[in-house]
Structure 1
Amino acid sequence: MMPMKDLQLHNKQRSSSNKLAAFLQNNSFNNLLVLGTWALGGSHFGLYDTKEAYRVIAFAYEHGIRQFDCAEFYAKGQSQHILYKALQVYDPSSYLVFLKAGLKWQGNRVIHDASHRHICDTVDKARDIFKKDTLDSVLLHWPDPHLDIRIACDTLSQLKEAGHIMFWGLCNIRHEHLNVIQGYDYDLCQFHYNLVNQGDEGLMTSLGDDNKVIYSYSPFEQGLLVNPLYSQSYLFSKKDVRNRNPCFFDAEIKKKLEGLFSLDTAGFSYTNCLLYWLLEKSFLDSVIVGARYVNHMHDICKILTLSKSEQERLSSSLFYRALDSF
């Protein structure tokens, strides 16, 4: 299956001075979608057979998605092991893996640790797991509130110079970090951005203008934006991470979503409408999607093969036209 044959989106070419952008372009990587693997580890989202995770990863790869996002933190390392095993059957030069460092578990508590030692240990473990001397890319997962962000930047830059990683980046940074991190050789940034989380648009635009490759994650807000049941009184299991997501309990958001779900989509899924809306953003290069099941992955991949006439029909639907004013 050849994706993106007809998909027409804003031109988002970064300058070749961004080494990641140049690498993606020179190797003809599909840079629209990245498969996130947080939910594939079997934790935090209810009951799950991790055998399905292997099918999801294989389906994504075979349908043109060749970038994968993971972290040792996800499912306490399980997601990382699953991803490695699933990708073993493919040529390592045919895909990219983005890994993260800076969060860890202490029992069931989440701890920020962006220290030099923790980042180096995380990278060393990942090199062992993926059996690679040089990892594709490592990002600071979250700025550590107890440490100067330059400690993480220095560490990642040194790891790149030592040949342990090809590219590095930063996730979830704030405006106040911009002056501090100026001059560092990072290539990419990741932000939580979707229909109900648009607060970082200005920051993403500024970093894109500075020639960073910009990725967004959680496009469907853990399913809230594509499942009408979740905007009603749906109950999750006790350990489900969505119980701690305030968007699921925000009366105003739920009311707006009920109105949005009543609008016609011209036959397209909510998933496709939201992905097209995101990919049309001029400041956004790629969207990190999460799918626990092959049927959802199948729906996601449809966005890559929309014809020009289908794109016109989708963007003319009442549902899509209401997104900008949500």
Structure 2
Amino acid sequence: MKQIQLGTSPLMVPQVVVGCMRMADRTTAQIEKLVRTAMEHGANYFDHADIYGGGACESLFSKGLGLTPALREKMVLQSKCGICPGVMYDFSKEHILSSVDGILKRLNTEYLDVLLLHRPDMLMEPEEVAEAFDRLEASGKVRYFGVSNQNPMQIQLLEKYLNQPLVANQLQFGIAHAGLVTEGIHVNMLDDGGISRTGSVLDFCRLHEITIQAWSPFQYGFFEGVFLGNEKFPELNRKLEELAQKYQTTSTAIAAAWIMRHPANIQIVTGTMDLTRLLSICEASDLRLTREEWYQIYLAAGNTLP
């Protein structure tokens, strides 16, 4: 498993992050098998959020593993807070602090390696966030901090007040949701591809050494479905299958390798609870597509070059 540096932190982490969003409908035995097998293949980074399963995913994770201190030290645990589902986003100091206490209790751990703010709160007062982060760091409850779904200006506003660097920004990215690269390819073009919806966040994160974590990497649109094997993407799936045969792997691995081929050292956040698919994604960390193959896949998904 390829290791990368997480932002400017001293942490060396795997390029594949095991997303735990769908654990709520799994048994503890299934969860234990998935987690332990992932760790055996070098994927020891686990991504949670306090809203996943209404907190059930975090509880089942710790229960399924019987999370001992020795085992805990072998993994990187990340969680997210700030979403009050269907109501609001909340980056108040009180909400952040209480959310972390709940996360730690459900995960049965004394600390998080990484805490991300889940979605931008338009009523955010960055001074309050800074106070919360300072308290969490001083107490040892959180070691590193990051954000999710934030653009460059939102990050800069927050960093003006923080005493800690932001080490990660979790963003949706994949072959069929490729706006992060499309807006760069179509710069100065009078077409929809040239519309910047992220403020060039990909380049910003590279410049400021913030690791991008790609969520929902196999989805198209906003949770409209998976493009793998989908009849809506015949040309893309033919190309993925062609390259899978060449590299003696799976289409899933090729789709994951496409993301990891980018020189930004993007982490891929899996969402699957299927062990076979998870291991295919892990294999992709050691697979390097050629430049031409990367563009072939991009075009096969219906994207264009000016």
| Coarse TM-score class (shorter-chain normalised) | 0.7 to 0.9
Once residues 102 and 32 of structure 1 are traced to their aligned partners in structure 2, the CA distance between those partners, rounded to angstroms, is 25
In structure 2, relative to structure 1, the CA distance for the partners of 1:301 and 1:182 (3 Å cut) is closer
Once residues 41 and 87 of structure 2 are traced to their aligned partners in structure 1, the CA distance between those partners, rounded to angstroms, is 34
Secondary structure in 1 aligned to 2:226?
coil
Q: Percent identity?
A: 19
Once residues 275 and 262 of structure 1 are traced to their aligned partners in structure 2, the CA distance between those partners, rounded to angstroms, is 16
Matched, 1:219 2:195: no
Number of the residue aligned with 1:23: 11
Amino acid at match of 1:275: A
Once residues 265 and 93 of structure 2 are traced to their aligned partners in structure 1, the CA distance between those partners, rounded to angstroms, is 30
Number of the residue aligned with 1:208: 206
Amino acid at match of 2:261: E
Matched, 1:91 2:71: yes
Amino acid at match of 1:91: L
Q: Give 1:203 deviation, angstroms.
A: 0.6
Secondary structure in 1 aligned to 2:84?
strand
Once residues 194 and 97 of structure 1 are traced to their aligned partners in structure 2, the CA distance between those partners, rounded to angstroms, is 23
TM-score (norm 2): 0.77
Equivalent pair of 2:92/2:129 in contact (CA under 8 Å): yes
Q: Give 1:259 deviation, angstroms.
A: 1.9
Matched, 1:36 2:24: no
Equivalent pair of 2:62/2:108 in contact (CA under 8 Å): no
Number of the residue aligned with 1:197: 177
Equivalent pair of 1:52/1:294 in contact (CA under 8 Å): no
- After superposition, give the CA deviation of every residue in 1:96-139 in whole Å (9 maximum; x if it has no partner): 1001110134xxx3542222111111111122233333321111
Matched, 1:292 2:236: no
Once residues 157 and 173 of structure 1 are traced to their aligned partners in structure 2, the CA distance between those partners, rounded to angstroms, is 21
Once residues 55 and 14 of structure 1 are traced to their aligned partners in structure 2, the CA distance between those partners, rounded to angstroms, is 26
Question: Which residue of 8, 32, 35 maps to 1:57?
Answer: 35
Once residues 77 and 315 of structure 1 are traced to their aligned partners in structure 2, the CA distance between those partners, rounded to angstroms, is 41
Q: Give 1:205 deviation, angstroms.
A: 2.1
Once residues 266 and 276 of structure 1 are traced to their aligned partners in structure 2, the CA distance between those partners, rounded to angstroms, is 11
Matches within 5 A, 1:228-307: 228=230, 231=231, 254=232, 257-263=233-239, 264-267=242-245, 268-306=249-287
Q: Give 1:196 deviation, angstroms.
A: 2.4
Once residues 35 and 115 of structure 1 are traced to their aligned partners in structure 2, the CA distance between those partners, rounded to angstroms, is 28
Name the count of aligned residue pairs.
268
TM-score (norm 1): 0.73
Number of the residue aligned with 1:242: none
Matched, 1:322 2:305: no
Equivalent pair of 2:244/2:254 in contact (CA under 8 Å): no
Q: What is the aligned-residue RMSD (CA, Å)?
A: 2.7
Once residues 110 and 38 of structure 1 are traced to their aligned partners in structure 2, the CA distance between those partners, rounded to angstroms, is 20
Once residues 195 and 219 of structure 1 are traced to their aligned partners in structure 2, the CA distance between those partners, rounded to angstroms, is 7
Number of the residue aligned with 1:118: 95
Unaligned residue ranges in structure 2 (runs of 5+): 182-199
**Relative contact order (C-alpha < 8 Å, sep 6+): which is higher?**
1
Q: Give 1:162 deviation, angstroms.
A: 3.1
Amino acid at match of 2:34: V
Secondary structure in 2 aligned to 1:34?
strand
In structure 2, relative to structure 1, the CA distance for the partners of 1:316 and 1:112 (3 Å cut) is closer
Number of the residue aligned with 1:101: 81
Amino acid at match of 1:207: C
Q: Which moved more, 1:166-175 or 1:122-131?
A: 122-131
Once residues 84 and 49 of structure 1 are traced to their aligned partners in structure 2, the CA distance between those partners, rounded to angstroms, is 12
Once residues 237 and 268 of structure 2 are traced to their aligned partners in structure 1, the CA distance between those partners, rounded to angstroms, is 22
Amino acid at match of 1:57: V
Equivalent pair of 2:176/2:218 in contact (CA under 8 Å): no
In structure 2, relative to structure 1, the CA distance for the partners of 1:14 and 1:169 (3 Å cut) is closer
Q: Give 1:35 deviation, angstroms.
A: 0.2
Number of the residue aligned with 1:151: 128
Once residues 126 and 139 of structure 2 are traced to their aligned partners in structure 1, the CA distance between those partners, rounded to angstroms, is 20
Secondary structure in 2 aligned to 1:219?
coil
Number of the residue aligned with 1:237: none
Equivalent pair of 2:152/2:204 in contact (CA under 8 Å): no
